[in-house]
Structure 1
């Protein structure tokens, strides 16, 4: 139902957007720092990843409001550490560590507001992101989910009407990865920072 709702909202906004709206295509690339937030005590460290793809922007002249959408390849993951391994007298002799890598085709759809300045235009944006898993590198015992939904919030600057530099934070809404231990099942959700640069044609 969530997927149907967000898709319907996106299509409705396109339909009602006036014909004079400014439409631009571009390419976007950047880096992200991501981790997995678990429902229990699991130490999770950020890992670096790459993102890149194509984008489109619709802005209503005079109002500064519009839509920003893209189709991106994105790699996310996390370095995980579970409970330490101890010997019979309580000495730490090792730890359970695992690094996960998850590759997605991601489709973010953001509402965008851009200030109408001349050379440098600050902007803010927020919206959902739909990611489809296309590859992974995970340890035995982990179970990944093939579809991920997130909410993104960010800000950026547009230079000379051609170059956009932005930063955003994303919250995963569904359980991305799970692993069963001896006592319970642990579920992780994506969390990530992303910095990108885009060139608009």
Structure 2
């Protein structure tokens, strides 16, 4: 059902784009993903992992060459890692361990982008807007090395039935992730002719882990710094 809604939204966006002669394009790049570790939203840089995003966008002019609305649909890979011990010198008394979580989402950003012309067919831009995301896949992986033996394994991430309209989810649990995520984006970049390059920071507002809701425990939210390249047709 969620996938059908996402695909219907994407079809609507690009149908509107076709009718109004605005530009559509492709965009993708690198994610430096992390998960906050405190209620204040702080992160531990050592826990960041490299991931990716890829998708499609539309550029809908609101004020020609100055302000655009840019919705999109992306497949975005996020997560974090936890490591302990010495990877190069593990021992029975001090083993090396690594745990990686990699939730993957269908993400819908809705950015408003201001543009400043700097030359013919060249503009600098800055954008801001919300995003909405639905968890669709992902794995948790672990590695344990005692110096004598090494063990590793993985398991698929379990998702609850969380939605923006469902606060009483019977499928929630401490071993599951919330299906629905939302947050805000800040973006800066340059547009040269049909090419785009941008840097973006995504700030998740929803706890990603399922289980009992507790307003005193608001840590574990997605944090993603991204660098993207794109092309508008």
Pairwise TM-score range, normalised by the shorter structure: 0.7 to 0.9
- Output the TM-score relative to the length of structure 2: 0.64
Higher-strand-fraction structure: 1
- 2:173 corresponds to 1:152: no
**Deviation at residue 143 of structure 1 after TM alignment:** 2.6
Q: After alignment, is 100-109 or 169-178 more displaced?
A: 169-178
- Trace 1:2-21 onto structure 2 (pairs within 5 A): none
1:104 aligns with: 105
**Deviation at residue 61 of structure 1 after TM alignment:** 4.2
**Deviation at residue 75 of structure 1 after TM alignment:** 0.5
1:71 aligns with: 73
2:209 aligns with: 177
Residue of structure 2 aligned with 1:166, choices 188, 198, 209? 198
Q: After alignment, is 61-70 or 128-137 more displaced?
A: 61-70
Residue of structure 1 aligned with 2:226, choices 183, 187, 194? 194
| Residues 42 and 186 of structure 1, relative CA distance in 2, 3 Å threshold | farther
2: CA distance between counterparts of 1:93 and 1:39? 27
| Residues 36 and 71 of structure 1, relative CA distance in 2, 3 Å threshold | same
Deviations 1:76-123 (A, max 9, x none): 1100248x8xxxxxxx63466410001110000001101134232000
Count of aligned pairs between the two proteins? 170
2: CA distance between counterparts of 1:42 and 1:154? 20
Deviations 1:21-47 (A, max 9, x none): 871100111111001112279955111
- 2:54 corresponds to 1:52: yes
**Secondary structure of the corresponding residue to residue 177 of structure 1:** coil
1:37 aligns with: 36
1: CA distance between counterparts of 2:176 and 2:129? 27
Structure 2 unaligned segments of length 5 or more: list them. Answer: 1-12, 14-19, 86-92, 142-154, 156-173
**Secondary structure of the corresponding residue to residue 117 of structure 2:** coil
| Residues 186 and 120 of structure 1, relative CA distance in 2, 3 Å threshold | closer
2: CA distance between counterparts of 1:81 and 1:149? 28
